[in-house]
Amino acid sequence: MADISAPLTTADGKPLKAALASAQARARRRAFFLVLPLLAFVLLTFVAPIAQMLHRSVHNPGFTTHTDIGSGEKTPIMVNLRAWFKENPPGTEPDEAAYEALVKDLVVLRELKAPGSVGTRINYERAGSRSMFTKAARRAEKLEPPYKEAMLDLDEDWADPELWQVMRGASSAYTFNFYLAALDLARDADGSIVSVDENRQVYVKLFTRTLLLSLLITFLCFLLAYPIAHLLATLPLRHSNLLMIFVLLPFWTSLLVRTTSWIVLLQSQGVVNDTLVATGILDDDSRIQMIYNQTGTIIAMTHILLPFMVLPLYSVMRPINPSYVRAARSLGATSWTAFRRIYFPQTVPGIGAGALLVFILAVGYYITPALVGGANGQLISNLIAFHMTKSLNWSLAAALAAILLGGILVLYWLYDRLVGIDNLKLG
């Protein structure tokens, strides 16, 4: 016997570990090259956009750098005012020097044709600021000292401490203010964090609604999918195949078609209401409003997301041998007890997978709520889209999206703690 403590070697004296590594290196290299395209794809289309989004949610150079649209040349702007902010702590009353710096910067902005974009940046956090900037920049060159009075003559709002607080916040390209805004918070004049006016609080309410609706939709999907999946798993194969096609049919139909067909069915002059009226169950004037509200969102999304619950459940139920339930029955359990104690626990991994899938999809759902959600059936994704396409406040959109992402990751972590990710079975 060789000495146990000495490292093992191959017949020609090479260390065994090194020999093994070199023997496997080729296979490893080949495996790596095989997944390389996917890796590049994922990096390019998944990791990079998310990283960029996260960056954008804390970075907005609208008040610090001007990028010329034609040449792409970057010019620092608001230099004087930013210097003043740096010298004076938050809460300082803006003095003559501050106004002088502001006017000098406005002159520069006018030359760069940039007052609009800078105004927009401030407008994100304080409504009505954009016009103040464009108006002031037009006249800035002609203003005489004392600048404070001159500016206040133009618009009294220039003395608003909130405006100065916003400008101070924007004077650094990196800021967490978008996250504050996304959580219905803001900094007051002293720089401390307070919640915004009650009638301007939208985001937290929407996050809560998104969460609750998604949970409800997940639960409804579970209720509907469980019996279907069970039927699919227990029917003879030729019957279950047909049924499976019905389950998958929605998958093969355009999302838009499915959503609009719900509009046809549920609208106040739609099929369902007409039938109810025709059969005399409903009065003609008491037609039920089932669409363009939360009900519409819930019905349409439950329908669309149902297959995502059915499939994992089915894949878990199919291999469960019927003899388990039979054994439980023969051991004295009623059919309910046999289901509860024996069958159901074995389907939990499928429930977990389906619920997680449906929930995550529901939380980020956009098209369906946009089409059938009306006013109170909108979800947070609709607001993100609004900030992306309408208000063009990409930083806020990014902050909202990042909070959504973070929330899902937290839920995912919770799920892992409670159920265990390795119990997940997608098929």
Partner 1 sequence: MQDREPNVATSDTDSAFVVFDRVQKSYDGETLVVKDLNLSIGKGEFLTMLGPSGSGKTTCLMMLAGFETATHGEILLDGRPINNIPPHKRGIGMVFQNYALFPHMTVNENLAFPLEVRGMGKDEREAKVKRALEMVQMGEFGNRRPAQLSGGQQQRIALARALVFDPALVLMDEPLGALDKQLREHMQYEIKHLHENLGITVVYVTHDQSEALTMSDRVAVFDDGIIQQLAPPAELYEQPQNSFVAQFIGENNKLSGKVIALDGDIATVQLDDGETCTALAVNCGGVGSDTLISVRPERVSVAAQGGPNSTSATVQELIYLGDHIRCRLTVHGNDEFVVKVPNSAGHSHLSVGETTQVSWLAQDARALDAG
Q: Give the dihedral sign, CA 306/312/318/320.
A: negative
Select the span of 119-127, 131-139, 324-332, 357-365 touching partner 1 (CB under 8 A). Answer: 324-332
| Site track for partner 1 across 343-362, x = CB under 8 A | --xx----------------
Select the span of 109-117, 207-215, 248-256, 338-346 touching partner 1 (CB under 8 A). Answer: 338-346
Q: Give the dihedral sign, CA 279/283/284/288.
A: negative
End-to-end CA distance of the chain: give it in Å, rounded: 49
Q: With CB under 8 A as the rule, give the number of residues binding partner 1.
A: 19
Q: Which residue, 287 or 329, is less far from partner 1 as judged by CB?
A: 329
Q: Which residue, 104 or 329, is less far from partner 1 as judged by CB?
A: 329
Tell me how far, at minimum, the Cβ of 354 lies from partner 1, in Å.
18
> Does residue 238 belong to the site contacting partner 1 (CB under 8 A)?
no
Tell me how far, at minimum, the Cβ of 334 lies from partner 1, in Å.
6
Task: Tell which positions 302-321 bind partner 1, by CB under 8 A.
Answer: 321
From 411, 413, 416, 406, select the one nearest 358 (Cα to Cα): 411
| Site track for partner 1 across 78-117, x = CB under 8 A | ----------------------------------------
> Does residue 199 belong to the site contacting partner 1 (CB under 8 A)?
no
**Of residues 24, 75, 337, 389, which one binds partner 1 by CB under 8 A?**
337
Q: Which residue, 151 or 342, is less far from partner 1 as judged by CB?
A: 342
Quote the CA–CA distance of 96 and 88 in Å, as a whole number: 13
Per-residue CA distances from 176 to 56, 100, 186, 398 (Å): 11, 28, 10, 12
Q: Which residue, 338 or 353, is less far from partner 1 as judged by CB?
A: 338
**Of residues 283, 332, 390, 422, which one binds partner 1 by CB under 8 A?**
332
Select the span of 53-61, 66-74, 101-109, 337-345 touching partner 1 (CB under 8 A). Answer: 337-345
Q: Which residue, 19 or 424, is less far from partner 1 as judged by CB?
A: 424
Q: Which residue, 75 or 335, is less far from partner 1 as judged by CB?
A: 335
**Of residues 55, 87, 341, 427, which one binds partner 1 by CB under 8 A?**
341
> Does residue 334 belong to the site contacting partner 1 (CB under 8 A)?
yes
Residues in the site for partner 1, rule: CB under 8 A? Answer: 321, 323-324, 326-335, 337-338, 341-342, 345-346
